[in-house]
Amino acid sequence: MKISAVRGMRDILPEETPLWQHLEAEIRTAFGLYGFRELRTPLVEEAQLFSRGVGEATDVVHKEMYVFQDKKGLPLALRPEATASVVRAYIEHGLYAKGGLAKLYYLGPMFRYEKPQKGRSRQFHQYGVEALGSLDPALDAEVIDLSSYLMERLGLAREGLFLRVNSIGCKGDRVRYREALREHLEPRRDELCPDCQRRLSENPMRILDCKREGCQPAIRTAPRSIDHLCPDCRAHFQEVLSHLDLLGIQYELDHTLVRGLDYYTRTVFELCSRDLGAQDALLGGGRYDDLVELLGGPPTPGVGFAGGMERLVLVLQGQLKKTEKLDVYIVPVGQEREVWRTAAWAASRLRRAGLSADVEYLGRSVRKATQAAAQLARCALFLGPEELAQGQATLKDLSSGKTVPLPLEKLSSPDELHPFFEPEENGDVKGGCGGGQG
Ligand code: AMP
């Protein structure tokens, strides 16, 4: 019986991993430049972390979370997002006691039982930052600036991106705003889709990000959260916007942006791509000033964002890097066992000298093996019985076709070996194998 990967979860194949590795390295560098340090949390948490932290009534927890019991009956969940985990770790390890601002980042798989489609899968990967311990609006702008800087580093054109921002205020503001929304929406109940009718009593703010055509007229005329902010929240939002102006970051005020997780307060934002279709958010985030306290820590404000790796891969696929070629592919000539043994030894030496190498293990003819080598490597090293008797092998540059003898003793001395692989000044190859990568 053939077993496939679980629906909505997929393998990332060796052709794709160079792009993933490149993105991960750029993300780590960008996060590091802004002072964030990596935190790795488990993939499995107690389910109540998310029902309390993210919100029982949110789609993420209510509909999409993978929940199961361990052998003792403890309800566990595959993490659907990482902010709650980061906050749990922050509290558990008393990171607040160290004083100062905790700037943490993570990268890794998340799990949500959603309907798989382009840009939406059940196992997906997020990169994200969390800054815990400061209410300064400059920090909201800093994490937005970081998201924008990251896209610049990755070479995503500004024209293809747009930033949506909004403020949903503090707890008190939201109580008043929800009431205003209900007052506006209740008389229009019949125009709303069944999901939104349910949301009307549970969580009317979520109606604002419904994409169904029928709900749009009611949404377009709905009251705006920024008109229901208390003076502190209004001043905070004004300051965030002035910082964005100062940093030269363009944004659209989007009054329908509320985000799907309950912990958000005040600033919320999404950075979207025009190339992504329906699932256009590359990343999203905002403030969560009540979450640490809600999860049992001391009152501590926080702000952060999370982005989807798969969506970055979708918009950057054009830049897919060619798989890096090996430095050397070793082709034993003939059947003599001694030749094959020497090939294995040579591969081991080359690798220790920092040169990537592989051996023709499939026993193909020299012609076929050379063809394979041309696909896989920049040089071929031919080892035949006569050459072996003379203590040497033949190194061939597979792009220029130039060959040179390589004394086997050089394999034991990295310093003497390397010149064979360096380009000469005229661009030609010195020892036979200096041609460019790829
Ligand atoms: P969220 O945690 O829902 O705020 O999502 C943050 C970002 O994660 C989104 O902007 C997407 O880029 C990505 N994302 C969320 N859910 C999925 C999913 N099911 N599949 C792929 N990417 C996702």
Domains and CATH numbers, the chain: 17-170+230-316 (3.30.930.10), 326-421 (3.40.50.800)
Are residues 285 and 143 in contact, defined by beta-carbon separation less than 8 angstroms? yes
**Is any atom of ligand 1 closer than 6 Å to the C-beta of 286?**
no
Q: Which of 45-54, 64-73, 95-104, 325-334 has the lowest mean pLDDT?
A: 95-104
**Is any atom of ligand 1 closer than 6 Å to the C-beta of 164?**
no
Are residues 373 and 398 in contact, defined by beta-carbon separation less than 8 angstroms? yes
The whole-model pTM stands at 0.90
Model pLDDT, residue 275: 85
**Is any atom of ligand 1 closer than 6 Å to the C-beta of 116?**
no
Tell which atom from ligand 1 comes closest to the C-alpha of 283. Answer: 10
Is the pLDDT reported for residue 166 higher than 90?
yes
Are residues 207 and 215 in contact, defined by beta-carbon separation less than 8 angstroms? yes
**Is any atom of ligand 1 closer than 6 Å to the C-beta of 280?**
no
Average pLDDT over residues 246-275: 93
pLDDT in tens, 232-245: 999 999 999 999 99
> What is the distance in A from the centroid of ligand 1 to the CA of 127?
10
Whole-Å CA distances, 104 to 34, 112, 409: 10, 23, 50
> What is the distance in A from the centroid of ligand 1 to the CA of 69?
25
Average pLDDT over residues 83-94: 97
Which pLDDT band, with edges at 50, 70 and 90, does 438 fall under?
very low
pLDDT in tens, 7-19: 999 999 998 999 9
**Is any atom of ligand 1 closer than 6 Å to the C-beta of 284?**
yes
> What is the distance in A from the centroid of ligand 1 to the CA of 135?
25
Average pLDDT over residues 97-112: 94
Average pLDDT over residues 207-221: 90
Task: Select from 87, 151, 310 the residue to mutate for testing ligand 1; criterion: most ligand atoms less than 8 Å from CB.
Answer: 310
Rounded to whole angstroms, the Cα distance separating 116 from 124 reads 11
Are residues 110 and 79 in contact, defined by beta-carbon separation less than 8 angstroms? yes
Output the residue whose Cα is nearest ligand 1's atom 11: 308
